[in-house]
Structure 1
């Protein structure tokens, strides 16, 4: 049962990984393939709607903590 492990990768998880900077240089990405992964796999409509939501939150300084 544990011989085969399958991981489901979401754009959300990948985006968090994409934001990690290199320990050697804070201006360099640690996981360089993560941005390409998002660009290749994220649906265009979902990407634009997600960005619109983030932009609205940023515009009005909305922070929601659960």
Structure 2
């Protein structure tokens, strides 16, 4: 699995597990990691957030 595929897989898993609250979950993770000073973790979760946003736009008929 490529790093890009891994990020998409994470985004899909978060969406499946948290449903409509997925964005809130991701925002909380980013905040917690930022407070811990985990810059790589923050970057990973920001990437997941971007993929969740793309999934949401696709679900609403917007172009990704």
TM-score by length of 1: 0.36
Greater RCO (CA < 8 Å, at least 6 residues apart): 2
TM-score by length of 2: 0.37
Q: Which has the larger radius of gyration?
A: 1
